[in-house]
A and B are shown apart, each in its own frame.
Chain A
Amino acid sequence: MKPNPETPVSPPCACANGTSRRNFLFKVGVGINVVAGALLATPLIGYVFASFIRKPAAQWITLGPLTKFPAGTTRLATYRNPNTRPWDGKTGDLPCWVRSMEGEKFQVFAINCAHLGCPVRWFEQSRLFMCPCHGGVYYEDGARASGPPPRGLYEYNHKIENGELLVQGGFIPTLARPLSTT
């Protein structure tokens, strides 16, 4: 705003330290607002980034009794996401591939292709997993067979307890966070 030539410019301050009361008030005003702003912003940031604060730990979830997975088969199993919300609906159900081998040995694979996360499908006859998106193919042990995936299928940590197969799940695996390090 241009100064109005008709009103005289206020005389320079006569105080000893060279700051006027107006100046002081202005600075205090800025200071109070910074504090108030910080008090307002802290809960907002905490709220919006809440997913970092309440980090859900990986939990053991049952896929059902071992009898569901006869040796020599690879079958789709589903489990309910342990961190589900009441309004999650169907999205709280997560699928995985269970490969059952002789001697109660198992491998549990994530459904997500290691390339870009599309759902891979098992083909019993050729014993391959194929991805419908960009043509990634995996062998029955999850190793990469061909196509663009940079690695084999993501594999869940699993254990057997009381005749049930349990997996450590509830995450979408990515290259940054594969399900297990093995």
Chain B
Amino acid sequence: MMEKLRQIALWFDDRLHIKKLFESTAGHHVPKSSGSWFYVFGSGTVLCLMIQLITGTCLAFVYVPSADEAYSTLEYLTYVQPFGWYLRAIHYWGSNFMVGIMMIHMAQVFLFGAYKYPRELTWISGVLLLFTTLGLAFTGQVMRFDQDAYWGLGIGTAIMGRVPFIGGELVTLMLDGPIIAGETLSRFFTLHVFILPGTVLAIVALHLRLVLTKGINEYPKPGVVVKKETYQQEYDAIIKKEGVPFVPGAISKDMFFSAFVILAILFCAAMFGPSGPTGVPDPTYIKTAPQPDFFFLWIYSVAALLPPYTETVVLLGGPLVAAIVLFALPFISGTGEKSARKRPIAVLVVVVSFLTLSLLTWYGIHSPWSPRMAAWTTDPTPAEFLKGRTPLELQGALVLQYKQCRNCHSLDGIGGQRGPDLSRVATKLTKDQLIRQVLQGGGNMPAYGKNLSPTEVDALVSFLLTLHPANELPARDSATPATPPQRAGL
């Protein structure tokens, strides 16, 4: 029996050269030191890609990429189709994990100097994979054709429209027409399902081909310097001395990590479920506050925090500069030390980038710059701000509420955070300053001069003047001398 099976296997091998194929690919020799826990993120990313391809194909069995029907098929997928919600959730969490693990892979490759000579092209193809994957993430967000997707496209349109000279043409090209509509969704569907996955697979093939031709990076040792003249001999010597076949010599940790990633994705999918859909993509329903998906939240934050006059330059130039820097990196520092222990600036770059992205993402989740559109009707005025106030002051509290001031200003931490909290405003501004600020605005506040009657301003300012702690004096003009009782109070 065994002999018979062996005969069959040999028959196939004779025709397909499976053994040779194995030896030159999965069984190729790698430095023993590369069988490290730090080297598991590349295979982890490929695994996520596989999960995305499988679940994505399955979702396409049901999903209809039509502006009219997409939303109802999403609802059908989520609530009716057996396991539909789970597949949607796996696809959603798979994309989060793919972007995340890919970023870690990139940071590891950077910190371990693996982009240096002779692996420049491996790095460059990796950067291309980063951009295509982010493209997949953005187009995927559009597939979930709900309000966020619609207005996400609107934001993309507005950014494109800022490109000098050809902005209008780019908008037409992106939307396939003058507005976001049926053809826009078809266009993004084609990108998400055919063009970008095909591109990713092609670049992954190149990426892996380069891993085979140029070898996997040896675990860097501090003090060992890459020189173009000698590196290849040194690497060959390492392979000869302590090379092991990748399968089975160095793959165990990748397998552990892969299993962990699958379980983590399944866990997140089961626990947190799919994302959205948040609401019918009806542009006439305007009570919506669109937010991008997780990986683009930091861009959303950048767009809010930048001074307006720098926005166009940074939004358009930023990605361009980032791309140039990433592509040029292996040619700027293609030789020298690989170990992170000897490259403090490299470590600093990673730490600062990570902190910046995390902080911006955190800000994006909380988005304190967004006015809270319903605060004026939902957030009550805390009672302690109303106790013992005169009728005029109480009238002012009503003005503050009714004129939507609370959408941007909070009282005792309740309300919008776009503008400053007003709980202690009387300690900072005098009566004249308050009147001026209300009437003329400024410092990111609209002028209310035309929209408030003089009596309303009078009431509002007298209420605002009561907003100071009992043990803290209100602000006074420098020309007004402090009165003796105030002095005694200090």
Contact = CB atoms under 8 A, between A and B. Distances in A.
B370 A112 contact: no
Interface string A76-97: 1010010111011111111100
Interface string A49-84: 111100010000000000000000000101001011
B451 A133 contact: no
Nearest to A123: B404
A52 B173 CA distance: 8
A139 B446 contact: yes
B288 A93 contact: no
A85 B181 contact: yes
A113 B151 CA distance: 11
B282 A145 contact: no
Contacts of A112: 154, 158
Interface of B is mostly: loop
Contact of B451 (A90, A128, A147, A148): A128
A89 B170 CA distance: 24
Nearest to B158: A117
A50 B186 CA distance: 14
A149 B371 contact: no
Given A84-B181, A111-B286, A146-B441, A118 B155 contact: yes
Interface string B170-211: 111101111111111000000000000000000000000000
A91 B168 contact: no
Contacts of A88: 67-68, 181-182
Given A56-B178, A147-B444, A148-B308, A116 B286 contact: no
Given A133-B290, A146-B445, A95 B283 contact: yes
Interface stretch (A2-10, A155-163, A173-181): A173-181
Interface residues of A, number: 57
Contacts of B155: 116-118, 133
A135 B408 CA distance: 9
Interface residues of B, number: 69
Contacts of A81: 179, 181
A132 B288 contact: yes
A170 B404 contact: no
Contacts of B160: 174, 176
- Which of A85, A117, A170 has the most chain B CB atoms inside 10 A of its CB? A117
B177 A89 contact: no
Contact of B450 (A118, A139, A150): A139
B103 interface: no
Given A87-B68, A93-B284, A130-B373, A117 B172 contact: no
B448 A172 contact: no
Nearest to B190: A48
A117 B151 contact: yes
Contacts of B445: 146
Contact of A126 (B157, B170, B283, B448): B448
Contacts of B157: 117, 172, 174
Contacts of A172: 154, 157, 171, 175, 178-180
Interface of A: 49-52, 56, 76, 78, 81, 83-85, 87-95, 111-113, 115-121, 123, 125-128, 130-135, 137, 139-140, 145-150, 170-172, 174-177
27 contacts: A50-B176, A51-B175, A52-B169, A81-B181, A90-B280, A91-B150, A91-B282, A116-B159, A116-B303, A118-B151, A118-B290, A119-B154, A119-B283, A119-B288, A120-B286, A126-B404, A128-B404, A132-B289, A133-B300, A133-B304, A140-B451, A172-B157, A174-B158, A174-B167, A176-B170, A177-B161, A177-B168
